[in-house]
Copies of this chain bind each other. A is one copy, B any other.
Amino acid sequence: MSRPMTYAMIGGGTDAFIGEVHRRAIALDNTAVLVAGALSSTPERSIQSAKQLGLCHDRSYGTYQELFEREQARQDRVDFVVIVTPNDTHFPIAKAALEYGFHVVMDKPSTHTSEQSQELSELAIKQNLLCCVTYNYTGYPMVRQARAMVRDGSLGTIRKLIIEYHQGWLATDLESSGQKQAAWRVDPSRAGLGGALGDIGTHAENLGSFITGLEVDSVYAELNAFVPGRQLDDDASVLLKYKHGAHGVITASQVCIGRGNGLSIRVYGDQAAIHWNQESPDELLYTQIDANTMTYTRGGPGLSSDAQISTRIPQGHPEGYLEAFANIYRGVVEAIRTKRDGTPETALSQLIPTIKDGAQGVQFVERCVESASKGCSIKF
């Protein structure tokens, strides 16, 4: 076990939701230690949050610019920065971070436009820096098992993907109550072009790509805003054509009363099929043609190396969302170490989602919105 790295957080003050998730995920494996931050949108609140999180006074920054400038100057500068600010600010912050020479981990959706993500992607390459986008569901061991099975040919040629992400929490006009999580998601200036499509549809799209490696060729989308007054979609249905002949169906909705985080994927090949469901993440169903369905389990028999290295505790003791998230960060530190030391890429480092995936996700939203407004299929 190597010494943990250090990181700084931009956003994620003590009243935010997702910052806390990132911190827990990093702490779980003692992957890295939070030592610096610019945690809120005002210097005062930033400093206060930093105090609550036990940061040293001299690394509690009022703004991200200040953080980058002063950390860059330190001998013990942080190993990477985590950007968990509202969506609309991702781009300038990530761009600055890369320019200052910091490895970046950022929430998805990466940016408001796919051009911005493309720009970040090129900048990261130029700077030889990591720019990871936390498509966290790719961290689940059984998702990685699914990927390994598709990639090793266990399903044959892929024909059809059916991917769902169904939530119910926005079935009413929650934003009017002042609920913070709801408010920014339904506001185009902060959320971007997509509502449910951007918030969860992009996870669905990414999950399909991560597992199968297929590239989207065109989409046909219908977007609905069922709750009166909403400007962005709260429900999206998308038919996808992938290159080389596979087809897909994505339904992403936030008005599905009774559903928590119903993200699931079914992949049908010409030899076998798999089924995974985020709410029972430790299981993966696999059926070969003319055979009985087998249930693969995290920690159980017959798993690929990628699934095995992405788990901590034995079969039957559930791991969940935070553990999956933590797997991303284990890959992040290995990727940074690889870049820093010039060592070969590791299995975990190769599994992490990057700004390239982020760009694809934003493009997916853009194409779907175009399709829905024109009423026709749109090419990628």
Contacts and interface: CB of A to CB of B under 8 A. Distances in A.
Interface of A: 1, 3-4, 14, 20-21, 23-24, 27-30, 52-54, 159-160, 162, 167-169, 171-172, 220, 222, 224, 226, 235, 237, 239, 247, 249, 251, 253, 255-262, 266, 268-273, 275, 278-282, 285, 287-297, 299-302, 312-323, 375-377
Contact of A313 (B21, B160, B287, B296): B21
B293 A295 contact: yes
- Number of copies of chain A assembled together: 4
Contacts of A302: 291-292
A257 B235 contact: no
Of A253, A260, A289, A296, which is in contact with the most chain B CB atoms at under 10 Å from its CB?
Answer: A260
A197 to B, nearest CB: 14
Of A3, A28, A251, A285, which is in contact with the most chain B CB atoms at under 10 Å from its CB?
Answer: A28
A96 to B, nearest CB: 28
A360 to B, nearest CB: 22
B54 A4 contact: yes
Q: Which 4 pairs across A and B sit closest by C-beta, in order of nearness?
A: A260-B316, A258-B287, A261-B316, A318-B320
A199 to B, nearest CB: 13
A163 to B, nearest CB: 11
